Chains A and B, each alone.
Chain A
Amino acid sequence: MPPELPLSPQVFHILLALAEGDRHGYAIIQDVERETEGRIRLGPGTLYGALKRLVEAGWVRETARRPDPADDDQRRRYYTLAPPGRRVLASESERLASAVARARRAGILRARGA
């Protein structure tokens, strides 16, 4: 079963983390926690459950490539964003962006820099 749409915040941020480059599990958790300023904290169960479904849906692939030879750790599994995942992420981001744009027009959100 592929992840449901709209994506849960956890899945969305996992895809975002992978969009920036291939990562192993621990790096994804750290990345998401840093980028969301601690608002989203992934536990190992949630992370691998989500990865399992993302892999099954073909959105994410395991990869043998190692982004940084210095960071290479044979025991870890690395994940990469597959083209379908990238498309889902893009459309999901657009959906959010249009929602934000509307919120801004409605005066709920101030335009950046204003």
Chain B
Amino acid sequence: MAGLLARLLLALHPRSFRSEYGDDVRALFLERWRDGRGPGGLRLRAHLIFDLLRSAVREWRDALGGSRRPGRTSLIGTDVRHLARWLARTPGFALSALATLALGVGATTAIFALVYGVLLRPLAYPEPDRLALIAREGMVSLPDVEDWRARGRAFATIGLYMPGWSLDLTGLGDPRPVATIAAEAQYLEVLGLEPIRGRFFGEDEDRPGGERVIVLTERFWRAELGADPGAIGRTLTLSGNPTTVIGVVADAADFDEIDAIGVVPLTVELPWTEGQRGTNNLDAIGRVAPGVPFADAAAELTEITRQLVEEYPRTNRGKIVEPAPLTEVLVGPVRPALRVALGAVVTLLLIAAVNLAGLLLARVTARRRELAVRSALGAGRGRIARQLLVEGLALGVVGGGLGLLLANLLLTAVRGMLPASVPRLETLSLSGPVLLFGLGAAVSAGFLCGVFPALRELRSDPLAGLDAGRGTGGRARHRALRSILATEIALAMALLATSGILIKSFERLWSVPLGFEPAGTLSARLVLPESRYGNDREAQTRAYGSIVDRLRETPGVTEAAFALSVPLVPGGAVGNVMLIAGRDVEANRWPGVRVRPVHGDYFSALKLPLIRGRVFDETDRESTQPVAVINRTLARDWWPDGDPIGARVALRDWHQFSDGPVWMTIVGVVDDVKALSLAEGDEPALYQPYAQRQVTWQRFGNLVIRTAGDPEGFERALKEAVWAVDPLLAVSQIRTLSDRRAASAGRERFLALTTALFAGSALLLVAQGLWGLVAYSVAERRREIGVRVALGAQPTRVIGLVTRDLLLPTLVGSAVGLGIAVFSGKWLESAIFEVSPTDPGVLAITVLVLISVVALASAIPARGATRVDPLEAIRE
């Protein structure tokens, strides 16, 4: 790959330079290319390519300027002038050529900017390669991290934190919930951030009962406090607690998309994490010590974690850590989608270039006289070939320049179109490396355009051209045209097939049964602040009960409910282990379940189908017999033939909060729902009445209402019902579940949309190219056609004559294109949902569409052949 690239770039240099230094340059290029392995090396490699492009220009200037023969001082300048004159004479061709290139380069660069911004650009932390996300959600506690630090050496620093720790901000605008990061002092040190104002908190300040302080994020400081330097020392009221602002940290937007307002000390905020090995809902991030390979650091931590499982089996059994590079964690999920988009757009650029090459090649016919005259005047074949190459390159550079302008526009548009789940979206721009890529794309496209006609010229007999207009056209050129056509059709075919698969995938995902009815529902997040509802179980139940009652009375609301988790709404799912009375199961084989406390008309509001038994009603209270409803998956796994109704179950991991297992009786079974996303099935789940919940920290959750009309208009009514019960409560994330559903298919929609766009453009390009080629073929063979018509040939035969040559390239192109589609299907698998990458139906439609386009684009200009007036044609 690199070797080929080096040879290609060297070919642009004058022979004199190549023969003397070519080997050295190539060897050095390869050596440096190897230096550019790994992340961060991209810049070096781009530099290498750019360097050879620049030196090619420099050496040509030197070779030509340094030569003593007058009159050859700026041959390239002459070529460019020829081109300008020629384009001015044929403005229609010039415009379509430049438009083709601008479109190709523009789209490719915009998509590359996206891929570069999200995938390739290093994170905005110092030495991001050393950052590791060690544990996420539930596999680590504060004492564990202290042991990691004490026993391990592979990590320079490890910091424990809880992202998205929600606090209520009052006294600054409307009361509202804000996200913070509750973290150890080491957390900011791991990220390598410095305070831009004030200071960070130290390890000694991070202790239970310590003073409440916060380090604000730069974004919040600017947006809410007007970047006031006097903000340091100011007091904010967070969940009722006065909290002192001690510093401002530059935005860590790259890390968590939670829109955090700041960082607060972990054990001040969550004192129970201290000394609690059983506490598990924290994350840990680490910075690998300099010089330690990532894999070694990961292995060390895994080993210490294993030791801890042996030493503390009660709390640590089942704990595992899998440290992963932070970059990987952030961009891993979107990588397949972006790769597909980049592949598609590069294919489109290739088609554009090949298309233009075909047009240029056909144009050579029209210019045969001009070229022949030039060669008669002493221009060598190489000279003319170079002229054609320079023409291609100049077209590429001008078209590419226009393309970069277009890319800038496209980027602005794309930013609005993308799902918000794409990380680091706000940093998208035409940065240096992106511009370099665009330039490279333009130059290679121009090179491709020019190289076909140039090679053809080198192999032809220049003097035959003097006879131009009288012959039947060169065989060699026809061969070249046919191979160009086949290439174009193959590429378009591959693109079309990919797009078809992605559209089908989106359609599948969109029609997947949800298990509930999202239309007509509205949900909102609601958190009861710890300061006033902390451990007061009765107050919590009463607050939610009153809010739901008020909502039920609201005109237009047919059902109202409160639940910890609502399908397709992130967060709120709580894991536990379920015991079944009367079953003899090995200790670690009990089923893991998602516990979903609900209150009100939850099942009817979501139209969640009841399969057997009953759902909860008003008679299920805190004081009555504990009951549970399970989902289809859990019922199928543990009662495959029997009836779960009446069985007694308990939640193992909450024993510590009561005197022993709380046994619940199963009263019903409901259908599975798409809880997390459209693509994922439901997990085993257990619903219980909120009034019968076993822990008091379940103060947060979601309100759901079903309305008679459009739910969008009920936002105000929903807030008022909440504030009638407690005017200081914060209501957030008010969205319809239909919206949530659309967001969940966002990536698939984006992929289907963009590739469809590309495939459409590819078809247009192919049609345009074909049309041009057939029209040329007709023009070129006017005399021959005229003779045949004069001799009585029928119109169908004439059409057959000019389109016959297209049959073979179309067939070969289609076959190769299908081959590419099938071959690259594996690569697509991670980006599609329940469709085979080689779905026969889709492939069949693809072939059909392409062949229709080919037929149409060639038939219309071919009809022109039937209108050739034999007398005129022969006289020419």
Contact = CB atoms under 8 A, between A and B. Distances in A.
- Do A and B make up one complex? yes
A47 B62 CA distance: 15
Nearest to A44: B28
Query: Max chain A CB contacts within 10 Å: which of B21, B31, B66?
Result: B21
A41 interface: yes
B618 interface: no
Secondary structure of the B contact surface, majority rule: helix
Contacts of A42: 51
Given A43-B48, A43-B52, A1 B29 contact: no
A47 B59 CA distance: 12
B24 A77 contact: yes
Nearest to A51: B21
B51 A44 contact: yes
A62 to B, nearest CB: 11
Secondary structure of the A contact surface, majority rule: helix
Contacts of B29: 43-44
A47 B24 CA distance: 10
Interface string A34-76: 0000000111111111011100000000000000000000010
Contact of A44 (B52, B59, B62, B65): B52
A25 B9 CA distance: 19
B476 to A, nearest CB: 34
B7 to A, nearest CB: 13
B25 interface: yes
B199 interface: no
Given A1-B66, A43-B47, A49 B55 contact: yes
A41 B62 contact: no
A42 B9 CA distance: 16
B845 interface: no
B487 to A, nearest CB: 30
Nearest to B21: A48
A77 to B, nearest CB: 6
A105 B13 CA distance: 47
Contact of A49 (B9, B17, B28): B17
Interface in B13-31: 13, 17, 20-21, 24-29, 31
Contact of B32 (A44, A75, A77): A44
Interface residues of B, number: 27
B54 interface: yes
Nearest to B27: A75
Given A48-B21, A52-B20, A43 B66 contact: no
Contacts of B58: 45-46, 49
A47 B65 contact: no
A89 interface: no
A61 B28 CA distance: 19
A41 B24 contact: no
Nearest to B59: A49
A29 B28 contact: yes
A29 B31 CA distance: 11
B21 to A, nearest CB: 4
B50 interface: yes
Interface string B41-71: 0001001101110111011001001100000
Given A48-B21, A52-B21, A53-B62, A25 B55 contact: no
A51 B20 CA distance: 11
A109 B579 CA distance: 77
A75 B44 CA distance: 24
Contacts of B17: 48-49, 52
Interface string B542-573: 00000000000000000000000000000000
Given A1-B65, A26-B31, A53-B62, A45 B55 contact: yes
Nearest to A43: B51
A29 B36 CA distance: 14
A108 to B, nearest CB: 29
A47 B32 CA distance: 13
13 contacts: A25-B24, A26-B32, A29-B28, A29-B32, A41-B47, A42-B51, A44-B48, A45-B13, A45-B51, A48-B17, A48-B21, A48-B55, A52-B17
Given A25-B28, A43-B29, A45-B58, 16 more contacts: A1-B65, A25-B24, A26-B31, A26-B32, A43-B47, A43-B51, A43-B52, A44-B25, A44-B26, A44-B29, A44-B48, A45-B51, A45-B56, A48-B17, A48-B21, A49-B17
